[in-house]
A = this chain, B = another copy of it.
């Protein structure tokens, strides 16, 4: 196998955290040819990546050509500053025609920033988002199989060159992922529901309990259910404050709906309406049992 596109092309990964590191590890494990070049603001991170055997070079190359693939794997709100540094239609590093993609969890602000910075969306820019991750962060948590059997959503727009989209899709497929195209606004709405709101609830719950005068007993008597429920509250605060800032409108909209649901449940609680509660719980259980496969297996209270 070769890196999608060309045997001579480089894969430049900017932001060598969990996602960037896992892409590099997956490329190595798949035996794809082509050099991996790491870019990160933190030299310690690049040292760690080098020791893990994930790098053939570090720092931006002097030039990039059509065979090169740049993956920007920094927190959502930092993508713009990377594009800004790379972009100049005549003299910038992307002027040579490299394909560029990103992994940000919210797509509209990235597209807006790219349009602003580049004066229109470059044909070689392919917005992407792997639906995989971990509550652990950093290159030390990288895993070659992180994307295997996971979905990667691409949100190409009218300006996106099909060949560029195909290059990016090919990389993810070689890492074992299923690539799905989606409209930008649908992506941001759906992820607000499946990912962003659950993270907000997990952070909110843990912080609420931590503020309780009984918080020592609370954490002492937490069992497996609590551990699984709050696992995502151990996620990276920088990454997630970016995501919520970037997708505030969609998250607020679904939070409105959750508030209405909680108000309904509170009403049933306060009137002691056991049948009403049971109806909602049974509906939720049926939905989850039908649509979400896989048991975490841990016991809980």
Min C-beta distance of A208 to chain B, whole Å: 5
Q: Are B207 and A131 in contact (CB under 8 A)?
A: no
List B contacts of A136 (CB < 8 A).
Answer: 295
Min C-beta distance of A21 to chain B, whole Å: 14
Interface assignment of A255: CB less than 8 Å from any CB of chain B: yes
Partner of A233 from the list B153, B248, B284 (CB cut-off 8 Å) is B284
Q: Are B222 and A292 in contact (CB under 8 A)?
A: yes
For A195, A241, A251, A288, the residue with the greatest tally of chain B CB atoms inside 10 Å of its CB is A288
Q: Are B270 and A234 in contact (CB under 8 A)?
A: no
List B contacts of A225 (CB < 8 A).
Answer: 133, 135, 195, 198-199, 231-232
Number of A residues contacting the other chain (C-beta, 8 Å)?
A: 103
Min C-beta distance of A144 to chain B, whole Å: 12
Q: Are A258 and B217 in contact (CB under 8 A)?
A: no
* Residue of B whose beta carbon sits closest to that of A269: B248
Interface assignment of A262: CB less than 8 Å from any CB of chain B: yes
By DSSP majority rule, is chain A's interface helix, strand, loop, or mixed?
helix
Min C-beta distance of A248 to chain B, whole Å: 4
List B contacts of A229 (CB < 8 A).
Answer: 198, 201-202, 228-229, 231-232
Partner of A244 from the list B198, B277, B287 (CB cut-off 8 Å) is B277
- Among A7-15, A112-120, A183-191, the stretch in contact with B: A183-191
Q: Within the assembled complex, what's the spacing in Å between the Cα atoms of A284 and B266?
A: 25
Q: Within the assembled complex, what's the spacing in Å between the Cα atoms of A269 and B256?
A: 13
Partner of A241 from the list B223, B251, B275 (CB cut-off 8 Å) is B275
Interface assignment of A81: CB less than 8 Å from any CB of chain B: no
List B contacts of A240 (CB < 8 A).
Answer: 277-278, 281
A206-B285, A207-B284 given; 16 more Cβ-contact pairs under 8 Å: A190-B221, A193-B218, A204-B261, A206-B287, A207-B280, A220-B291, A227-B293, A233-B285, A233-B288, A234-B289, A235-B285, A237-B281, A237-B285, A241-B281, A242-B274, A255-B269
